[in-house]
Every structure is written in C-alpha cells, then in structure tokens.
Amino acid sequence: MAEGLPPQVPVSKYCIEIADVVAAADRIRPFVHRTPVMRCAQLDALAGKDVELFFKCELFQKTGSFKIRGASNACLAVPDAEAKKGFVTHSSGNHAQAVALACQQRGVPAYIVIPSNAPLPKKNALLHTYGAKVFECKPTNAARAAMAAEKVKETGAKFIHSSNDPKVMAGQGTIALEFLSQITEMGKRQLDALIVPIGGGGMLSGMAVVAKSLFPNIKVYGAEPAGASDAFLAKQAGQAAWKGVSQHPKPPHTCADGLKTIMLEHNWPVVRDLVDRIFLLSEKQIIDAAELVYTRMKLAIEMSAGTGVAVALSEEFQKLGHKRVGVVLCGGNIALDDLFSSLRKKFVRDE
Amino acid sequence: MAEGLPPQVPVSKYCIEIADVVAAADRIRPFVHRTPVMRCAQLDALAGKDVELFFKCELFQKTGSFKIRGASNACLAVPDAEAKKGFVTHSSGNHAQAVALACQQRGVPAYIVIPSNAPLPKKNALLHTYGAKVFECKPTNAARAAMAAEKVKETGAKFIHSSNDPKVMAGQGTIALEFLSQITEMGKRQLDALIVPIGGGGMLSGMAVVAKSLFPNIKVYGAEPAGASDAFLAKQAGQAAWKGVSQHPKPPHTCADGLKTIMLEHNWPVVRDLVDRIFLLSEKQIIDAAELVYTRMKLAIEMSAGTGVAVALSEEFQKLGHKRVGVVLCGGNIALDDLFSSLRKKFVRDE
C-alpha cells in the first residue's frame, strides 16, 4: 500500500486509511448519488496538447455538493441509541444542508446553528426541505461554536465538524473511490493527477488517502483561493510551524465561499504528506474558469468548483505535463439572483 | 404504424417519415453526442404526485444545442460534388453554429449571414472556432434572406433553412429515437408524454413523427412562448386559415430567443396532425422554470429550454394526469454576462 510513498509516512499512520473509506462507501451507498464523470473537448484543448480532463460532477450530488457523503457517513456510523439524540453543526453552507438531509434520512433531529446574516433561502431550505431545527447566532466564529456547544449540551446530540472529523474525511474520500473506478470503466488508463479544491481539507485528504493507497503514482493537488490560503501557507511552513500558520493571515476574502474554512489537525498530516502541492488561484482565475464551465460545459457550478478547473488551465500546472487529469466539480450551490433578476426586469415586467 | 392515429393522417403522408429519421441517425452518429437523460427528484415533486420527469440533455450536444443534428444531416445527405461548394444559412443563433460545425466536419465552406447587431462573441465563435465565412447584413429578415440568396447565387452553395427542410427535420427527429430508447434502457415503462419547445417546429415535428410512429399513444406537446405564438395560433385556426395566421401578430418578444422563428409549410402538417396540443407560456413561467433547472439540477440551460420545463410544472398540464413525462432541454447557449460581471465587480477589482 505504501509503494511509491516515502517509507516514513505509511498511509495507515493517518486518522483514516482506505479501509475506512471503503466502509464509508458501503454505509452511504443507498443515500448518495454515484455522480457522473463528464468530458469537454473544448476545455481539453485549453488544458494543453493531448490533455484529457475528467470532471467528477459532485454538483449533481444530493444537496448540490459532495458534503452529503461525509455528513451521511458521520451520521450513519453512530449506533441507534446515540444517533436518536440527533446531530449538531454550525454552518450556513453546504455542510449544513448535508447534515440536515443525513439526519432526515436517518429520522433523527438535526440542530443547525446559522449566522443571523445567512441568506433567507438557505435558512428556509434547512427548515422546510430538510426539516432541520435552525438556530440563529451572531455572525462570528466564536458565537457559532459557542451556540453549537450549547446545543450539544442541551440535547445530547453529537457535533459533526464540516472537515475536521475522520468520519467526514472518510465519507468525502468515497469521491476518489468512485472517480478512479469510473476512469477504468471508461476504458481509460488511470489518471496522472487529481485536482481537488481545499477549504477545511476533508475532501482533499480523504481523496488523497484513497488515491495514494490505490495508485501511488497519481499526483494529488489542492486548489486554494489566494484569498484564503491557510493550507498553502501551512504546507510551505512545514509541520513544526503549522500550529502557528494554520489560520488565515487576514480574514478570508474570495468568491469561492465554500473554501474559507481553516484546515485543522486531522487533515493537516495527510495534506502535509500525501498532497503533492497546493496551487493558489486569483479571483480572476477562479471566475474565468467558472465562466468557461458554464459556457462550454453548461454546468452551473459554484465558484469553489472553479478553483480546480483554474488549476488545470494554469500555465504553472500545464508545465508539469500531466495528460490525464481528474478535476472535482465539488458543488453547484450558488446565488444566481443577478442573472435571473436581470432577465425578469427585461421580460416579465412587460407582461 | 398508424395504430392510434386518425386513419386519415397516416404518418407517411408528411415530408418525412420514421425511415428518414433512422437514416439520419446512421448518417450523423459519428458527428454528434448521444446526450444523457437526467432526472431530478426535486422537480418531480413539483410536477405532481407520482410524476417522473425525464430530461433529454441536448444542452450537452455539440455546439451547445440540438441544432447540429439537423445541420449535420442536411450537410451529409448531399453528394460530394454538390457538398464541396459548401452551405449557406442566415442566423445569429444555434443553427448558424451548427451549420458551421457541420461544414467544418465535412471539410466544406460554410457561408453564414448574420445581422450586424449580433453579439460579437457569436460572430467570433463562428469565425474562429468553426472557421465559417461570416457576412454581416442589416438586422431585418428581408436583408438576411436577400444576402443568403445572393451567397447561394455567387458560390453555388446550398441553403439550409433552420427548420423548414425535411433533412433538418429528420435530423432533429433523432432526439426522439435516442430519448425513447434511453427510457427503455433505464428499465422504465415508456413515456406518456413528450414536451418539446417550438420555434420553427423542426424539432417538434421531427420528434412527433418518431414518437407517434413507434408509440402511437405517447402524447406530443409543443411548448411555445406567448410572446411568439404563431404555432399555437395556427393550430387554433386550423389548416384552412393557416397561411393567414402563421406569422407573428406582432414582432415576437420573449427571453426564449431561440423560439422566435415562424413555422413554415414543411412543419405545419405534422404539427397540425401529430402534435396533441401547444401550450403557451408567459415570460414569468419560462424564467421561473429555468431558474429551477439552474438551482435544482445545476444545468445552465438557455431560456428556450425553460419552456418545456414550464409546461411540465403548469397546472394546465398537470390536470392531464401524465405520469412519465419527457422534456427536451434543447440548448445551453445563453449570455451569462450579468452573472459573471457582477462576480468580477465584487471580487476581481480587489486583487
């Protein structure tokens, strides 16, 4: 299993190994979609000579993002007696929806703490679509964590972190199990490289454990906005200095709002050892790449998913000469008000 | 073949029959994608109790719309000696791209007449991506037709109309051949109803011939913007009055810009006899439906494709009680400037 890896970092030394991901895949199979892998000749041409890009379409996943994989695994791995007290998280984003749906599917309560400035449609989706119990708090990290801790204490429910949790990491790792099998099913030689967006790092580290265990020669890369570069900085600084740098040097600012989270201790060792490199992207690169995905592939991705595409299209990446490149389109939850309000202004008012 | 049809309208009495569509499918197979059929549980729930919607994703077709099917068929059906002179069309939309690509694939010249007010990116795509020869004319129907006729005369190239051409109709009919096979491959009972957007009617009539030939009990419905209602009015008035009403009572005005075309004589008899009903949609219905497709299915459709979805979600349609409903998402070519310029304004200027 450790073939091709430095002998000092056997894959089994991390908080998860591939067996955990295989178990997660069995556990969550009835509750998640096996999302398709798509191709696009026009993007291939932009990615360099003879390059084939393979897009893992987690935007088509239940709840519109990969997060349901980790949330389902965390929720289903708990015995009935404990699970029936429910689960708590704090998030206004994809992880909140994922925990809410995972709880609904298991028939247990979900307690979701959201900042008071979260958009109303998100709150309503949590309440009405997924039947979660929603609690508003002040829009600060401290207030969110405090109220979540309070809910845990009050209800006996279990907290599920969006990334710093081995069960969540194993759940997200199932993307790699599926993706690499699908490449084989397509009759293709295996990928040279995988590009995965990184916020908290649950998806990147889960997928890295799988890819490096099964195919040690696959390069695994993170895609991170320059405006939320904690993982890049941590990797640059190395382990010793990690605790000091694993925070955003200034408040994160990026259109890729799913990637503002900080990488914490469960993900760090995997990112340190098994991720070959983290690429930083400018906002322009992310938005340009996302626009290409909309216009050429006709996929309505969220900006976080633009980061992986932006890496594949960057000169820096193309210099590495990878020919078969997998990119995770991690989600499609994005506010499209600007598009639709302008259409309505132009056409509906005439009626 | 005519089982289930009124005996006075055997399917073979139209300008195409199913054999023409089968021949088209064989002819164009190497040059077009077999597009996927997608499902969406959230849209099923909005479409009524126990309703299953099946979406034929022609937005993923080459050139971003179904039009390549008809254009390829028209282009490939011509013998070499004639084809080498090339093909002419006038259009600023999906049909222009389709003719340009079909000609490029056959290695013959494409002469595309576009109105001088067509968006620059469309012109550039025609010129650079597909290598067409592009000619600008005044933005009127008369000027377009006149310049196209002139190009035919000058070059000896053949004119391909966007809908009023049996070869184009047969090409578009291949959508139905594929779609109905895919339903069977999915292990489903065959569709009760097909909903197809109508502009000039090439897609609707091509698909109607196939559906009614193979499964006479399938209902075939057209989806037309109320702001471009010529086909609805023609059907309402009936054959005798057709020539009088088959024009827009006032200039068409709709966000579904692909559907502004007029239905002409080749499509009319099929629409008259084999299309069960045409539903008219308000701009609000079309835009609301498209927004649902973006937010729930994560598909970046053009507004024309919103019409079919809007029919499926309408009370009027739901009263009919169809349970397995096929909807063609006909294309994904839409200007997304409002979305991306606002993202750029918000994020890129900080860099």
- Give yes or no: residues A174 and A223 share one domain: yes
Residue among B219, B217, B228, B214 at smallest CA distance from B256: B228
- Assigned domain for B3 exists: no
* Cα(B284)–Cα(A318) distance, integer angstroms: 45
The token duo for A112 is 């979701």
Active site residues of B: 67, 92
Q: Out of A298-307, B22-31, B249-258, pick the least confident.
A: B249-258
Q: Are A136 and A221 members of one domain?
A: no
Closest CA to A264 of A328, A140, A168: A168
User: Do residues B49 and B190 share a domain?
Assistant: yes
Looking at chain A, which residue has its C-alpha nearest residue B302?
A298
Whole-angstrom distance, CA of residue B315 vs CA of residue B318: 5
Say if strands A52-57 and A37-38 run parallel, antiparallel, or are unpaired: antiparallel
Domain extent at residue B119: 67-159
Through-space distance between the first and last CA atoms of chain A, rounded to whole angstroms = 65
Task: Say whether both B178 and B323 belong to one domain.
Answer: yes
Chosen from A255, A293, A347, A348 to mutate, greatest number of chain B CBs within 10 A? A347
Task: Kindly give the interhelix angle for A202-214 and A166-185, rounded to the nearest 10 degrees.
Answer: 50
> Which of A156-170, B245-259, B267-281 has the lowest average pLDDT?
B245-259
| φ/ψ (deg, to 5) at A255 | -70, -20
Q: For residue A198, how many other CB atoms are within 10 A of its CB?
A: 32
Chain A neighbors of B301, CB-CB under 8 A: 298
- Best to test chain B binding among A298, A304, A334, A345 (most B CBs inside 10 Å): A298
Distance from CA of A172 to the nearest CA of B (A): 20
**Residues in chain A, overall count:** 351
Of B60, B347, B348, the CB nearest to A298: B60
Are residues A155 and A76 part of one domain?
yes
Q: How far is Cα B295 from Cα A156, in angstroms, rounded to an integer?
A: 35
Measure the CA–CA gap between A350 and B214, rounded to whole angstroms.
Answer: 42
Flag whether B74 is in a domain. yes
Average pLDDT value for residue range B314-329: 98
pLDDT tops 60 at residue B251: yes
Query: Reading across the β-sheet that carries A133-137, which strands appear in turn?
Result: A133-137, A110-115, A87-90, A158-159
The Cα–Cα gap between A148 and A112 comes to: 8
Q: How confident is the model at residue B120 (pLDDT cuts 50, 70, 90)?
A: confident
A107 SS3 class: coil
Q: Which residues of A touch B38 (CB under 8 A)?
A: 60
Q: Is the pLDDT of residue B56 over 50?
A: yes
| Residue pointed to by tokens 């709002």 | A257
Q: What angle do CA A12, A15, A19 make, to 5 degrees?
A: 55
Confirm whether A347 is domain-assigned: no
Q: How far apart are CA B224 and CA B324, in angstroms?
A: 21
List the single range of A311-320, B106-115, B136-145 with lowest mean pLDDT.
Answer: B136-145
Q: Which of B159, B181, B206 is the last residue of a domain?
A: B159
Identify whether the C-beta of residue B83 lies closer than 8 Å to the C-beta of residue B60.
no
Chain A residues whose C-beta is within 8 A of a chain B C-beta are 36, 38, 59-60, 64, 253-255, 282-284, 287, 290-291, 294-295, 297-301, 303, 332, 336, 338-340, 342-344, 346-348, 350-351
**Helix locations, chain B, DSSP H:** 18-28, 41-46, 67-76, 80-83, 94-106, 120-124, 141-155, 166-185, 202-214, 230-237, 242-245, 268-274, 283-292, 303-313, 315-318, 337-347
Tens-digit pLDDT string for chain A (351 aa): 334 444 444 455 899 999 999 999 999 999 999 999 999 999 999 999 999 999 999 999 999 999 999 999 999 999 999 999 999 999 878 999 999 999 999 999 999 999 888 877 778 888 888 999 999 999 888 899 999 999 999 999 999 999 999 999 999 999 999 999 999 999 999 999 999 999 999 999 999 999 999 999 999 999 999 999 999 999 998 866 666 555 677 788 999 999 998 999 999 999 999 999 999 999 999 999 999 999 999 999 999 999 999 999 999 999 999 999 999 999 999 999 989 999 999 999 766
**Contact A59/B298, CB-based, under 8 Å?**
yes
- Higher-confidence position of B28 and A244: B28
Co-location of B197 and B321 in the same domain: yes
In a domain, A73, yes or no: yes
Of A159, A187, A214, the one marking the end of a domain is A159
* Whether B102 and B24 share a structural domain: no
Q: Is there a single domain that holds both residue A251 and residue A310?
A: yes
- pLDDT at B247 > cutoff 70: no
Q: Is residue B226 part of a domain?
A: yes
A30, A174: one domain: yes
Residue B335 with chain A: CB contacts under 8 Å = none
Residue A302 near residue A287 (C-beta atoms within 8 A): no
* CATH of residue B300: 3.40.50.1100
Same structural domain, A89 and A182: no
Residue B141's pLDDT is what?
80
Q: How far is A41 from chain B (nearest CA, A)?
A: 10
For the sheet with B219-225, list strands across it: B37-38, B52-57, B324-329, B193-197, B219-225, B277-281
State how far the Cα of B155 lies from the Cα of B109, in Å rounded to an integer. Answer: 10
Predicted pLDDT of residue A7: 41
Total domains present in chain B: 2
My answer on whether B122 and B49 are in the same domain is no
**Structure confidence at residue A139 (pLDDT):** 86
| Per-residue pLDDT at A8 | 43
CB B191 within 8 A of CB B180: yes
Of B283, B291, B347, the CB nearest to A254: B347
Question: For the segment B202-211, what is each residue's pLDDT rounded down to a tens digit?
Answer: 999 999 999 9
CA A183 to CA B21: how far, in whole Å?
34
Considering the domain boundaries, does residue B344 fall inside one? Answer: no
* Residues A193 and A312 both lie in one domain: yes
Record the pTM.
Answer: 0.94
Q: Which of A3, A21, A56 is nearest to A191 (CA)?
A: A56
In a domain, B6, yes or no: no
User: Under 8 Å CB-to-CB from A281, ≥6 apart: which residues?
Assistant: A223, A224, A225, A226, A307, A310, A311, A314
Taking residue B295's Cβ as centre, other Cβ atoms within 10 Å add up to 19
DSSP calls for B186-252: TTPPPPSEEEEE-SSSHHHHHHHHHHHHH-TT-EEEEEEEGGG-HHHHHHHH-GGGHHHHSS-SS--
The arithmetic mean of pLDDT across residues B232-244, rounded, is: 79
Give the tens place of pLDDT for each residue, B288-305. Answer: 999 999 999 999 999 999
In this prediction, residues B73-81 reach a mean pLDDT of: 97
Instruction: Tell me which amino acid residue A143 is.
Output: A
Q: How many CB pairs under 8 A join A and B?
A: 93
Q: Indicate whether A343 belongs to any domain.
A: no
How high is the mean pLDDT of chain B?
92
Q: Are strands A87-90 and A158-159 parallel, antiparallel or unpaired?
A: parallel
pLDDT at position B350: 64
| CB distance B206 to B16 below 8 Å | yes
